[in-house]
Amino acid sequence: MNFSTPVFRVPKALFRTILLMLFVFSSASQAAIIRVTVENNASVGGLSFTPLYSAFHSAAFDAFDVGGTASAGLEQLAELGGASTLASERLMVDPGSVGGVVFPTGGMRPLFPGESGYREFNITDTVSNQYFTFLSMILPSNDTFFGRDNALQLFDAAGYFLGNQVINVTGADLWDAGTEGLDTTAAPFIPGNTPTDSPADALGVIRAAESLASFAGITLANGQVLDANLIDFLSDPASFNVATITIEQIPEPAIASLFLAGVLGLGLAARRRKVHLN
């Protein structure tokens, strides 16, 4: 009678599947699907803002520096809400970067008070694109925008996600682009206005946002009337709640399915081997 321990042999086809799984998981560690969700936290009568410009990039790209001058791309975004020039500037210095805008759910337009929206970005190279930048124009204004001077790091040097992030955008994150002086008749998002880039800003540098009190009482393009109390972000900038941005990694269905198939196949092979030996 042979009491030796049975030897478990993995069928060649399953072995090849396992190798393929290992290869896919190895490659997937350098890629990620990231969902960016943005919510306008203002009450009705508060500030709106343009679709959120989002970029995943290397250290080569820097959207702005407080105290410096705005690029043509930042000027376009801060004055009109457009991101095409800024995207071109990003790709010029960082060709492998990924970017796009996040619209509110149900429309390609600004995010009104209380609205939210999300977009998923496929980051195929997380080693190169470790950093995240976000920007949006405040409406109404001449050249006020929100963002962070320093980009947020989402992935480590090996390309692994550092965890979900929640960014609370406050009045302290509002900036004046230094490209256009205050003129309520030249600002977008106000019916009857023709947006212009004049008058010129006397200081000409990016700095903390200045009061928008001149816009109080104006009826906006969304039909809401600006409430002076709801747009006063200077009294207590850190407590003025502008927006919430949530960053999450989304599991890739194909990889999860492949892993499950491999596990089930391995279990089935072991079961059949056991029955055969018995």
* Dihedral of alpha carbons 45, 146, 161, 118, sign: positive
Tell me: pLDDT of 195 over 90. Answer: yes
> Does the residue 9 lie in any domain?
no
Query: What are phi and psi for residue 58, nearest 5 degrees?
Result: -90, -175
Strands 152-153 and 207-208: unpaired
Please state, in angstroms and rounded to a whole number, the distance separating the CA atoms of residues 116 and 138: 15
Helix (H) or strand (E) holding 72: helix 72-80
pLDDT in tens, 152-170: 999 999 999 999 999 999 9
Total count of residues recorded for the chain: 278
Residue 22: per-residue pLDDT: 47
> Does the residue 187 lie in any domain?
yes
Specify the number of domains making up the chain: 1
Residue 254: per-residue pLDDT: 47
> Does the residue 226 lie in any domain?
yes
Question: Mean pLDDT score of the chain, rounded to an integer?
Answer: 88
> Does the residue 14 lie in any domain?
no
Range of the domain at 133: 31-253
Confidence of residue 106 (pLDDT cuts 50, 70, 90): confident
pLDDT in tens, 221-252: 999 999 999 999 999 999 999 999 999 999 97
Residue 30: per-residue pLDDT: 78
Query: What are phi and psi for residue 170, nearest 5 degrees?
Result: -120, -175
Tell me: pLDDT of 262 over 90. Answer: no
pLDDT in tens, 45-81: 999 999 999 999 999 999 999 999 999 999 999 999 9
> Does the residue 7 lie in any domain?
no
Please state, in angstroms and rounded to a whole number, the distance separating the CA atoms of residues 252 and 27: 12
Residue 278 C-beta-side C-alpha neighbours within 13 Å: 6
Query: What are phi and psi for residue 242, nearest 5 degrees?
Result: -90, -55
pLDDT in tens, 11-37: 666 556 555 554 444 444 579 999 999
What CATH number does the domain containing 137 carry? 2.60.40.2130
Residue 261: per-residue pLDDT: 52
Which position has the higher pLDDT, 160 or 5? 160
The top-scoring range by mean pLDDT among 8-12, 127-131, 256-260 is: 127-131
Please state, in angstroms and rounded to a whole number, the distance separating the CA atoms of residues 15 and 266: 9
Tell me: pLDDT of 114 over 50. Answer: yes
Cα–Cα nearest to 136, from 226, 60, 42: 42
For the chain, percent of residues with pLDDT exceeding 90: 78
Confidence of residue 145 (pLDDT cuts 50, 70, 90): very high
